Amino acid sequence: MATQVLDQMRLDELNQQQKSEPWRRHPTKFYAWVAFGVILPAVIAIGLFLGTDIPGALIIVLYLPIQLLASAMSAVATKGVRGIGDSVIIVNAIGATVFVLIVLLSVLGSLVIQGMRAMSAHFLYQNSVYINPSTPLEYGGIGHALIGTVLIVAIASLVAVPVGIATAVYITEVRGKAVPYVRFFVQAMSGVPSVVAGLFILTIVVATGAFGQGAFAGGLAYAILMLPTVARTAEEVLRLVPDDLRTGALALGSTRARTVMKVVIPAARTGVITAVILGIARVIGETAPLLIAAGNNDQTVLNPFGTPIAAVPTFIFNNVAQPFPDAVSRAWGSALVLIVLVGVLFTAARLIGRGRLANSRK
């Protein structure tokens, strides 16, 4: 095969060539039409909002078809008729994202603005003894409800987490004959209404006299709701563990139980922690089971058995419908504390999971 030899002049010419990226070049017309598709709907929406009496919610509804029309015009001018489909998909995707962000920020903003009215140091540690709905915000707090929430969630976790992880291990590792039935019941439990879980515990535990209303009964009701979330999430996480780890451990002489405990679960540790946190997030704001199974109390209760106990969701429920502004402010403040508590739990779980994962790689 002949070898092509380039002279020095040709080499200098090739070295002087600049990097070309034709796929990144667009004419000025393209950017002009893109600006048209972005600016025109915004100008129309702002004009309707400032110059007419049309409600803002209706203007938001009208904004989407105007944006779709402007994007379609820009697509036809720049890419032809075939570009209309792409523009519709892009506009809907971006519009849905922006809409969700606006709703989320609106909820969080309202929660922070309204909840900060009740925030103070004593609001976090005082209880509501001798406090009525008309009492000023300078007195009383949700300390008793925070303690009740921690007790109830801790009892629910002690019951649901081991059972949920064991269920996931049975489905993914043992793979016995009852796997289809176990998976069916787990999926069926995930659709159980929260009030049904509370009524079940009321009938089985409270009405029979085994235990009275309290943190233990509320924790059992929470455990029923928490179990399917933990089991299904842990099952999906355990399925992601490579089979090579299992076969390698078995080839070295390990038993199946030891392989699961020492290899599979540690490999999926971060995902299992996430499953636990998702289960806690699933139940920590539920009110109906606690109204039925845990009851309510204005005092600080540390005994989880047989004594009605307050929780943050029930405290919110009891105050939000009161005709007194201070009571409603306490409800907003409690909701803010609950959101912050969930955020702290998520952050702590992620930090713990990352720390352990980093240590396992060393």
pLDDT of residue 219: 93
Q: What are phi and psi of 60, to 5 degrees?
A: -65, -40
Six-digit token pair at 31? 């950017």
pLDDT of residue 168: 92
pLDDT of residue 167: 93
List CB contacts of 350: < 8 A, sequence separation 6 or more.
none
CA 245, 246, 249: angle at the middle one, nearest 5?
A: 85
pLDDT of residue 121: 85
Which region holds residue 55: left if phi is over 0, alpha if psi is between -120 and 50, else beta? Answer: beta
pLDDT tens string, the chain, 362 residues long: the values are 555 555 666 666 666 665 555 555 667 777 788 788 888 888 888 888 888 888 877 887 888 888 888 888 888 887 777 777 877 777 777 777 877 888 888 888 888 998 888 888 888 888 888 888 888 888 888 988 999 999 999 999 999 999 999 999 999 888 888 889 998 988 888 888 889 999 999 999 888 888 888 999 999 999 999 999 999 999 988 988 888 888 888 888 888 888 888 888 888 888 888 888 888 888 988 888 999 999 888 888 888 887 899 999 999 998 888 888 888 999 999 999 988 888 887 777 667 656 555 555 55
Distances from the Cα of 61 to the Cα of 57, 71, 107, 136, 201, angstroms: 6, 16, 19, 41, 45
pLDDT of residue 8: 65
Fold for the domain defined by 143-361: MetI-like fold (1.10.3720)
Which residue carries 């702590």 as its tokens?
Answer: 348
Domain ranges of the chain: 29-115, 143-361
pLDDT of residue 355: 54
pLDDT of residue 67: 83
